[in-house]
Amino acid sequence: MEAHIDLAIGYCWAALGALWLLGMAFTKRVVRSQPAGPRVFGVAVAFLGFALLGKQWFRYGWLAERFVPETQAILMAGLVLTIGGCLFAGWARVALGGNWSGRATVKENHELIVRGPYAWVRHPIYTGLLVAVAGTALAQGEWRSAAGVGVIFLAFAMKMSQEERLMMQTFPQEYPGYRRRVKALIPGVF
């Protein structure tokens, strides 16, 4: 991957990480949370996915082979997807405010957020992150990165299941209608 595009992608991820760290200071107190077992398993799966995407540990055999040619157009497309995904995930994180948590939780005075990106999809942080990891994988162009996207999707699917369950329990009147109107990850599709 060309050095300046690789660096730009790294800066996107660093900026998103900084937003997450800053936002942690403003979260509400946890009232209810997903069980520890699924949480630990989900974190391990996500770690594996991000390791496939970002580390050289898996750069052997067929995982190191390219699935797309390394052209300027593909590198730029990967960068644009990464930037767009990080921006969308960041917007969703800001819109969620104090209700955010790194695990599936219900917060004190939890609100059902249906504005901003939550008017388009129920899990916009995951949508943004998946677009960003797909962009990063495209720019890297190796099968290990593509596999990382799949593993990260699996981790997010497991966490979404827990979050959906908690939201249905917490907002039994509002959430079913919101769920019918707004798709989980892709507006109008899925």
Q: Does domain 3-181 have CATH number 1.20.120.1630?
A: yes
Closest CA to 170 of 37, 33, 40, 39: 33
Return the DSSP state at 26: T
pLDDT in tens, 24-67: 999 999 999 988 899 999 999 999 999 999 888 888 899 999 99
Structure confidence by residue, pLDDT tens digits, 119-162: 999 999 999 999 999 999 999 999 999 999 999 999 999 999 99
23 pLDDT more than 70: yes
Which residues lie below 8 Å from residue 26, measured CB to CB, with a gap of 6+?
A: 97, 98
pLDDT (0 to 100) of residue 109:
95
User: Structure pTM?
Assistant: 0.95
Assess whether pLDDT exceeds 80 at residue 172.
yes
Helix ranges restricted to H, 72-142: 72-96, 124-140
CA distance 123 to 109: 20
C-alpha–C-alpha distance, residues 96 and 94, integer Å? 5
Q: Which residues pair with 105 in a beta bridge?
A: 33
| Per-residue model confidence (pLDDT) at position 1 | 62
φ, ψ dihedrals at 106, nearest 5°? -120, 130
